[in-house]
Amino acid sequence: MKILVVSNNYPSLKNPSRGVFVYNLIQQFCKLGHEVSIISSENILTSKRKKVETYGIENCTVYRPKVVSASNMQIGSFNTYKVAELSQIKGIKRIVKKHNLKFDFVYAHFMMNGISAVNALKSYNKPFFIAIGESDLIRLTKMYPKDYFNQSIKQIRGFVAVSNKLKNQLIGFGIPENSIFMKPNAVDLTRFYQRNKAAMRKKYKLPMDLKLVAFVGRFLPHKGPLRVLEAVQNLNNVGALFMGNGPQEPVGSSVVFKESVPSSKIPEILSAADIFVLPTQREGSCNAIAEAIACGLPVVSSKIPEVMDQCHPSFSILVDPMDVTALESAIGSILSDEERRTEMSRNALEYSKNFEIGERASSILNFVEGMMEE
């Protein structure tokens, strides 16, 4: 099939880490034999960024129309996001017309891109599908006039939701349940797998004599890097690895690694750790958790619906993400029991087979084909 993907959350030479999970999925579409074109709108302000050599092997044809953004602020009944949306709609129309793109259906990643795609391409009379991976759709709807939002989503043939929470929110918007396919995010198990712990610690000059806790994500309050740091500070012989960046920068004697690292290094550094900790307050479907499980790490994370969709008690302990004492207790209970930790690691590796990206890509396309036949 010929697939047109619309997503502004896609890596580029100027922003190689953006939307890596979208990139990985779409590359699988190509590997399954489909012809994929991608329209990934690019904020005109990013043109000043320095380019890298590559963000990975690209099997699709990517078009990058420039858009103007006015952020997302509510001024009376007007939201400034409308400026970016109109610019994106114009760019999508221009690319499809200029390059005479042919497609059997449109696959948009995230609701905002889907709404833009619908209003840019509805005259082509092709089916639209949207992947929903936001942490919350309710807040997003406030950016649009109610009638405009409702009319737009009525034109979507099917939705791929990454959690039951998002599926239920879609049903709340009046979307028929049989038009929604719930499938959590997945990882490439040929890249994310368990390496030798000692070898990875030696490679990255990490201490051999400490138990290591890994955190991957933006250093933002809702992700909880400082709560992780606070939870490990009172534990003996425990260090923390922080992979990411952001305003809540963890600092202290317990921090043994802190760096924004390319995706190629994440599985190696995860393999150097003993457990993975992420006290997040909200997610769509957490790629970092799926990656940690694939590397055989026991997980301490949040007792929230979207994380519960990903984690099984056989390899995880889920707690109130704001309760640092509960975090500390959960981390300590796993690190102090080597036999339990080993068993949880085995269970994580086995469970990760349910989140293989090739299988996810095939399942999504089977859902799309089924909806198109109906």
What confidence tens digit (pLDDT) does each residue in 33-66 have?
999 999 999 888 765 667 878 888 999 999 999 9
- Which tokens belong to 90? 């114009």
- How confident is the model at residue 46, as a pLDDT? 61
- Boundaries of CATH 3.40.50.2000 in the chain? 2-186+357-373, 197-355
Handedness of CA 115, 170, 176, 164 (dihedral sign): positive
Distance CA 135, CA 289 (A): 15
- Is pLDDT of 70 > 70? no
Instruction: Judge whether residue 302 has pLDDT over 80.
Output: yes
- The CATH H-level (homologous superfamily) assignment of domain 2-186+357-373 is Glycogen Phosphorylase B; (3.40.50.2000)
Please provide the distance, in angstroms rounded to a whole number, between the alpha carbons at the two ends of the chain: 17
For residues 75 and 249, which has the higher predicted lDDT (pLDDT)?
Answer: 249
CATH 3.40.50.1470 assigned to domain 197-355? The reply is no
Average pLDDT estimate for 71-78: 68
H-type helices in the chain, by residue range? Answer: 20-31, 81-98, 111-121, 137-141, 146-153, 164-172, 197-203, 225-233, 266-271, 287-294, 305-308, 324-335, 338-351, 357-373
Calculate what percentage of the chain has a pLDDT beyond 70. 96
Predicted pLDDT of residue 48: 64
DSSP sequence for 55-76 = SS---SEEE--EE------EET
CA torsion 217-219-220-225 (nearest 10°) is 90
Residue of 347, 224, 203, 221 whose CA lies nearest to 213 = 224
Give the mean model confidence (pLDDT) for residues 259-278.
Answer: 93
Determine the pLDDT at residue 219: 96
Q: What is the pTM of this model?
A: 0.84
Q: Which residue has the higher pLDDT, 51 or 243?
A: 243
pLDDT at 182: 94
Mean pLDDT, rounded, for 232-257: 96
What's the average model confidence in pLDDT over 133-151?
A: 87
Mean pLDDT of 58-76: 83
Per-residue confidence at 18, pLDDT binned at 50, 70, 90? confident
What's at 173, amino acid-wise?
A: F
% of the chain beyond a pLDDT of 90: 78
- pLDDT band at 280, cuts 50/70/90? very high
**What's the pLDDT tens digit per position in 156-209?**
999 999 999 999 999 999 999 999 999 999 999 999 999 999 999 999 999 999
Query: Cα angle vertex 21, ends 17, 22, to 5°?
Result: 100
pLDDT grade for 351, boundaries at 50, 70 and 90: very high
What pLDDT does residue 77 have?
Answer: 67
Q: Tell me what pLDDT residue 14 has.
A: 84
> Which residue would you say has higher pLDDT here, 72 or 141?
141
Average pLDDT in the chain:
93
